[in-house]
Amino acid sequence: MNQALSGVRILDMTHVQAGPTATQLMAWMGADVIKLEPPVGDATRGQLRDVPNADSLYFTMLNCNKRSIVVNMKNATGKEVFVALLKKCDIVMENFGPGVLDRFGFTWEKIREINPRIIMGSIKGFGSSGPYSNFKAYENVAQAMGGAMSTTGVPEGPPFVTGAQIGDSGTGLHLVIGLLAALQQRHTSGKGQYVEVAMMDAVMNLCRVKFRDHQRLSRGPLAEYSVGTHQGMGAVPRAGNDSGGGQLGNAIRCKPGGPNDFIYIVVQEVVWKALGERIGRELGLPDLVDDPRFATIAERRHHQNDMWELIGELALKYTKREFMEILNELDVPCGPIMSTEDLANDEHVKLRNMYVELDHPQRGTWHNVGMPIKLSDSPAVIKRSPTLGEHTDEVLREVLGITDGEIARMREAGAFSKDAPKKVSA
């Protein structure tokens, strides 16, 4: 099938999550992604293992639709294979710690010299310039340093990380956008370029509205926040489940009161009348809509904690699904807090191919989260992740045109293993 990125070949040196999430998306859009792994494989193959001797879900869920080749980048023949692949690829991607690629002897300048059309995608914790550039980073380090943690949680509690992997997967998404732009620019320039995304920068980008509020604090309190704010406060406070936008929102507990029996409700200005009437009717408060505390959005902001209390009283009579139906009828934007169990069994999720069943030679049946970007002319066909080095010979033959005899010579020289195979003396 001809897909959006058919004909684009990616040399994927990425590991762990931030890079692989990007290359998986590009593979789902049709790119030929050749995952170049060290002889021990991407570390995630063995991390958080749930099935003995099988690639972990950590690996399989981030590496679908790719081909895996093993190349020892510390071996001279391995480096020759790498150079040959660079000449045949449109994009090379990496998210090593600072300096790793340079230590292999392949700076961007060198890579560009080898193939002037190649685009290089690079993820670093903090980018290649600035005082933090020499440091490694993982997801939560990026959340800590990009502004997400200081603004997540409640003021009296510690900062919290979010379950969504905004530091890793969020950065991967940013990189994909940059690479697609670079591919487009290559049509006119004929040249590749270096595309870099720092995890800290990506998290800051995703926290943009918090920097809106940071600047507003110099002019006065933030009326929509349910927690106290004041002019000159400096840093934006953690504000629990506040909406973060112009409309008021909150997570409200429902029946029967379990850990995920909550519904998120946005009391959009236009829906207050209908919602207020409903609350008033059920709670025996017929004048609620005209209550001066809630008459205007400004008043509702001011008295929002009273409003949440009343909505909460009503919500406790219903399950989150029942309450969702009631609110949907009133056109109130809302969503039950969905657990992973809820989502894994949700009809809507199933229909949109967002939780797909796959097979794997080592682990049998498993599920991956599906492709969230739906291209009408390029639907994703999701295929299992490769086993370590599954396609080494195939890629060498098909992409590089290397003969079986030559492959054997390279193998002997240690290009595809940690150490060169020992010669058995006669």
Residue 307 found at the interface with ligand COA (CB under 6 A):
no
Write the CA distances from 354 to 23, 309, 368, 424, integer angstroms.
Answer: 18, 35, 8, 52
Q: Which residues contact 302 (CB under 8 A, 6 or more apart)?
A: 223, 293
Residue 248 found at the interface with ligand COA (CB under 6 A):
no
Rank residues 22 and 327 by Cβ distance to ligand COA and give the closer one: 22
Tell me which of 35, 66, 124, 210 binds ligand COA, using CB under 6 A: 124
Query: Candidates 10-18, 48-56, 245-253, 365-373 — which segment interacts with ligand COA by CB under 6 A?
Result: 10-18
Q: Which residue is nearest to ligand COA (CB)?
A: 97
Q: Is 127 left (phi over 0), alpha (psi -120 to 50) or beta?
A: left
Tell me which of 18, 22, 26, 311 binds ligand COA, using CB under 6 A: 18
Residue 153 found at the interface with ligand COA (CB under 6 A):
no
Residue 169 one-letter amino acid? S
Tell me which of 23, 63, 77, 95 binds ligand COA, using CB under 6 A: 95
Binders of ligand COA among residues 50 to 79 (CB under 6 A) are 71-74
Residue 249 found at the interface with ligand COA (CB under 6 A):
no
The DSSP string of 102-142 is HHHT--HHHHHHH-TT-EEEEEESS-SSSTTTT----HHHH
Rank residues 147 and 170 by Cβ distance to ligand COA and give the closer one: 170
Residue 96 found at the interface with ligand COA (CB under 6 A):
yes
- Catalytic residue selected from 32, 90, 168, 261: 168
Rank residues 125 and 386 by Cβ distance to ligand COA and give the closer one: 125
Long-range pairs, 381-384, Cβ under 8 A, ≥24: 381/1, 381/65, 382/28, 382/64, 382/65, 382/353, 382/356, 382/358, 383/64, 383/65, 383/358, 384/60, 384/64, 384/358, 384/359, 384/360
Closest distance to ligand COA from the beta carbon of 83 (Å): 13
Closest distance to ligand COA from the beta carbon of 114 (Å): 17
Write the CA distances from 245 to 97, 212, 217, 269, 287, integer angstroms.
Answer: 36, 10, 15, 12, 28
Tell me which of 8, 10, 11, 16 binds ligand COA, using CB under 6 A: 16
How many Å apart are CA 366 and CA 59, to the nearest integer? 12
Query: What are the tokens at 279?
Result: 């609350």
Rank residues 78 and 249 by Cβ distance to ligand COA and give the closer one: 78
The DSSP string of 52-106 is TTS--HHHHTT-TTEEEEE--TTSHHHHHHHHHHHHH-SEEEE-PSTTHHHHHT-
* 168 carries an active-site annotation: yes
Binders of ligand COA among residues 192 to 211 (CB under 6 A) are 199
Rank residues 124 and 300 by Cβ distance to ligand COA and give the closer one: 124
Rank residues 267 and 415 by Cβ distance to ligand COA and give the closer one: 415
Residue 180 found at the interface with ligand COA (CB under 6 A):
no
Could you list the active site residues?
Answer: 168
Applying CB under 6 A, the residues found at the interface with ligand COA are: 16-18, 38, 71-74, 95-97, 100, 103, 123-125, 136-138, 168, 199
